[in-house]
Structure 1
Amino acid sequence: MNRTRAVVLVFVVLAAIGGVAVLTVDRPSVAGTESRFSGVNDSTTLVTTELRVTNPNPIPIELGNTTVTHSIRMNGIEMGTGSRDDIRAAPGTSTVNFTTAIDNRNIPTWWASHVERGERTRVVTGAAVDVPVFGTARVSENRTLTTDITGALNTSEPRPINASLPFVDDPVLVVERTSATWGNVTRARTPLDIALRVRNPTEIPIPVARIDYTLTMNGITVGNGTTGERTVLSPGSEQTITARAAIRNDELDDWWVSHIERDQRTDLGVSLTAVLELPGNRTVELPLDDLGTNTTIDTDVFDTGNGSDGSTSSIRLTR
């Protein structure tokens, strides 16, 4: 940031010489900011920001009528703003603390934008210090958050599924591989398509009537329902069955609270149940939870070093 020089004329009547003294004061500058989450409830997430102000003068400067404003934007969405009036800049570099409130109702809109952009979010934090006489100093920081949630759900490891049915040898199905992709996200829903490549190793047809699903984030149900069309797997055959699940975005503000409370950590679970049709108009529910369709999301939105090592799916920060 370029520093401009402001000249403040302080007229001091010197008894000895009756002269006038001239004092030159350099303009204070903004050295940077550091933000971190400091609290959360059902409606609001608090962010505490330390603004570093550098005063190059040997004396403190009382910045009366000074206004400091701060904003947080994610993919261009204004998540929250904060401000503080009247600050004092000691010689050298000092910090000014203030709080910005994020409205949790903005979380579903941000989430939709994150998925739409290929699980990428541009986080921009900006501060402006408006000082009478000196003018306005500004500083901003940009980071890119990336996740790979669907990638963490993909696997090519064959997994046998047992049914423990009479007169039928286990496993009744073998899931050869699983892949997940996002569908066309809207403000209300985030579709998640999970394709299961399934083989029937038995000598009898296996009719799959439907797939039931439940999506959870930190134990909070964010989506559930029934999906898929009736499919009959012939003996020895292999087919792809698609489970078209969806996250209800209006549940995500509740998830966000749990995410912040757990130090920006989320356990995402995808529970699938295949419903098999049997003779005599009977059905059997075959849990597919052994598919391992679970992952952990760790975030570090403000680059404070809170991310957890070894997570299946993580958010990475780059400047």
Structure 2
Amino acid sequence: MIPRRVKMAVAAVGGVVAIVVALYAIGVIGVPTATVADPGDWESVDENETEVVTTVTVNNPNPLGIGLGRAVVVDYDLQLNNVVVAEGRTTNLSAPPGESTATVRTDIQNAKLAPWWRSFVRENETVRIGVDATVEIDAGISAEQSVSFGPRVELDNRTPVIDGLSRAANRTEGTYGVNTPTGTVGYEIERAWATWGPVNESRTTVRYHYVIRNPNRVPIPAVPDGFSVELIANDVGLLQGDASAISPRTVGRDETIPPRETQTVVFDVAMDNDRIDDWFRSHVRRDELTTMESRMRLLFEVAGRQIRVPQDGPSTYACDVQTAILVDNETSDTTCASTVGGTE
């Protein structure tokens, strides 16, 4: 049997709720409203998380405030290339009488950056940005408002990452040779460029295309014996590969180029992309600016002699990339010169 005091308390609470609903109905008490002011801003960045903050504005037309708990609930998510990289719910907001603002904090989930990178590369380095936020007020009468920002598109028709890698390959073009007991033996690299190959959440493949002429009287190896490529982004080794990562596509690993003939040699270089989150944090710290440097070098062995391409050290190419995902008063741009690179 329920005690009489409990029955009285329940009845009293029910009566208060009924009165509140009635006051809303006749217009004595207004329904609070809320909105999200902007898509968000970057806040603190450390080794474990990248924080996003956004501002919620609540207008409470009543003389009494709305209490803590689930009275004001905010759901927020940030999508990059249709991958939700940050999402969260804030429930500890209050709304005093009049207009007030509150800050909602959400963290970038590092585990989601690799799936985003995969989509970024597959979409030819286009950045698609979307923000969804929902504010729910429960103060006797519930009110809800949903706000979306975007989708916005950045770096459309620009491919700065593969362009940087491709430019480094361009700079290996030229004539290279060494002296041997039977005369000079060498390579003529007529053209060189890079495109994206397959990419998944753990590995990124860069596809290198080399048009090589054999000016000699003897065959020469088509595939380099040594190879190094590196993409440094804000001092972070974003992509790195060596000869062990090479997979020839158009020739066998031991195939040669006949004398006086020209051949297009295509080979894939698979590189781990386990430092995407390190680079992304550095990009945010610099107000979404990245300085990239691509480095590349090949090594061929002919008649027991080594031919280094380039001879004096790796070919290098440096350029900048600016985005404006959550940076105010900025536009996306790049100084990376366009090449024939892209996604195959």
TM-score range, shorter chain: 0.7 to 0.9
SS of the aligned residue for 1:195 comes to strand
Q: Find out whether 1:183 has 2:190 as its counterpart.
A: no
The letter for the 2-side match of 1:224 is G
Name the CA shift for 1:286/1:78 in 2 (closer, same or farther; >3 Å). same
- The percent identity for this pair of structures is 22
SS of the aligned residue for 1:62 comes to coil
The letter for the 2-side match of 1:212 is F
Task: Give the Cα–Cα distance (whole angstroms) in 1 for the partners of residues 172 and 231 of structure 2.
Answer: 22
Name the CA shift for 1:262/1:231 in 2 (closer, same or farther; >3 Å). farther
Task: Give the Cα–Cα distance (whole angstroms) in 2 for the partners of residues 308 and 137 of structure 1.
Answer: 30
Q: C-alpha deviations, 1:3-49, integer Å up to 9, x for none?
A: xxx98728xxxxxxxxxx96252542426423121222222111121
SS of the aligned residue for 2:231 comes to strand
2:109 is aligned, of 99, 103, 106, to 103
Name the CA shift for 1:310/1:272 in 2 (closer, same or farther; >3 Å). closer
Task: Give the Cα–Cα distance (whole angstroms) in 1 for the partners of residues 97 and 270 of structure 2.
Answer: 54
Q: Which residue of 1 aligns with 2:66?
A: 63
User: TM-score, normalised on structure 2?
Assistant: 0.69
Q: Which residue of 2 aligns with 1:78?
A: 84
Task: Give the Cα–Cα distance (whole angstroms) in 2 for the partners of residues 80 and 252 of structure 1.
Answer: 16
Displacement of 1:108: 0.9
- Structure 1, unmatched stretches of 5+, are 1-5, 11-20, 315-319
Name the CA shift for 1:266/1:238 in 2 (closer, same or farther; >3 Å). farther
Displacement of 1:177: 3.1
Q: C-alpha deviations, 1:53-79, integer Å up to 9, x for none?
A: 4x395x677333212222222334332
The letter for the 1-side match of 2:142 is F
- Checking the alignment, whether the CA contact within 8 Å between 1:215 and 1:247 is kept in structure 2 is no
Name the CA shift for 1:31/1:188 in 2 (closer, same or farther; >3 Å). closer
1:224 is aligned, of 241, 245, 261, to 241
Task: Give the Cα–Cα distance (whole angstroms) in 1 for the partners of residues 294 and 191 of structure 2.
Answer: 15
Displacement of 1:178: 3.2
- Checking the alignment, whether the CA contact within 8 Å between 1:174 and 1:201 is kept in structure 2 is yes
Task: Give the Cα–Cα distance (whole angstroms) in 2 for the partners of residues 98 and 71 of structure 1.
Answer: 11
Task: Give the Cα–Cα distance (whole angstroms) in 1 for the partners of residues 337 and 105 of structure 2.
Answer: 30
Task: Give the Cα–Cα distance (whole angstroms) in 2 for the partners of residues 248 and 157 of structure 1.
Answer: 23
Q: Find out whether 1:40 has 2:49 as its counterpart.
A: no
Q: Find out whether 1:283 has 2:291 as its counterpart.
A: no
The letter for the 1-side match of 2:153 is T
The letter for the 1-side match of 2:204 is T
Task: Give the Cα–Cα distance (whole angstroms) in 2 for the partners of residues 309 and 117 of structure 1.
Answer: 17
Indicate the structure with greater strand content: 1
Task: Give the Cα–Cα distance (whole angstroms) in 2 for the partners of residues 75 and 7 of structure 1.
Answer: 44
Name the CA shift for 1:61/1:102 in 2 (closer, same or farther; >3 Å). farther
Q: Which residue of 2 aligns with 1:253?
A: 277
Bigger mean CA deviation after superposition, 124-133 or 270-279: 270-279
- Structure 2, unmatched stretches of 5+, are 1-19, 339-344
Displacement of 1:295: 4.4
Bigger mean CA deviation after superposition, 304-313 or 153-162: 153-162
